[in-house]
Amino acid sequence: MEIIQSTKNERIKQLRKLQMKKEREATGTYLIEGFHLVEEALKQDGLVQELLALPEIDLQEAPFDQATKITRISREVAHFISETKSEQGIFAVVKMTEPSIMMLNGKKLLLVDRVQDPGNIGTLIRTADAAGYDAVVLGAGSADLYNPKVIRSAQGSHFHLPVLSGNLHEWVEQLKEEDVPVYGAILDQEARSFEELPKQTTLALMVGNEGQGIDPELIRKVTAGVYIPIYGASESLNVGVAAGILMYGLAKYEKI
């Protein structure tokens, strides 16, 4: 069994560069690490280009046996390419995708305006997945979907639902043309408590920047502003927490 031992290996140096957005966009690939994320990626046909693992890791069982290219690496190399302090010793090179969503009616969407913290973006994607939403749209100024911290925080949910980048002004206009209500999470006297709004099977929820909220131009375009009543002394909620409450609170679910 051949094992890449050196961090000076050209292939390994290229993999480390995938921590940077410029390199990810140039190659159309990104690097994930950890058993759970790699398992989720391998469940998607044709996404994993290469699997990298320590020699002692058994890759004979599903879904790891689905990998077409396997490279064994030393612990030193694993530490070199890892973004975590305690790497699990398993990585995958994954193709970036360009998902699409053709029909808006009948869908539940999360629109994200300039949320910059990668952990928050990952949490939003993961929560949208859990809440049964059909897609997430990241507006300009939001953290990069393929940022390693976003990927770790999303815990594989970006493999389960489309996550698109788009112009939110155009999205809102299109949604309104198709009679899809767009609710903006805002702190404003004219906003309505989410508890007062009827639950919908089709809707779009928009959340905004951690410090500034939703762009005022976008607020003017939404169907209605919505807020979460706060009964304690805190002035506001984390955007991920707020989005979770609103996604579940506004959506109507069919009985299973």
Report the number of distinct structural domains present in the chain: 2
pLDDT at 187: 85
Residue 56 inside a domain? The answer is: yes
Residue 100 inside a domain? The answer is: no
pTM for the model stands at: 0.95
pLDDT digit string, tens, across residues 205-237 = 999 999 999 999 999 999 999 999 999 999 889
**DSSP structural state of residue 210:** T
- Mean pLDDT to the nearest integer, 135-164: 97
- Mean pLDDT to the nearest integer, 54-59: 96
Domain span at residue 45 reads 3-95
* CA distance linking residue 72 with residue 83, whole number of Å: 18
If we measure between CA atoms, which residue out of 152, 156, 120, 155 comes closest to residue 138? 120
pLDDT at 1: 65
**CATH number, position 165:** 3.40.1280.10
Instruction: Tell me the average pLDDT of the chain.
Output: 95
* CA distance linking residue 6 with residue 13, whole number of Å: 10
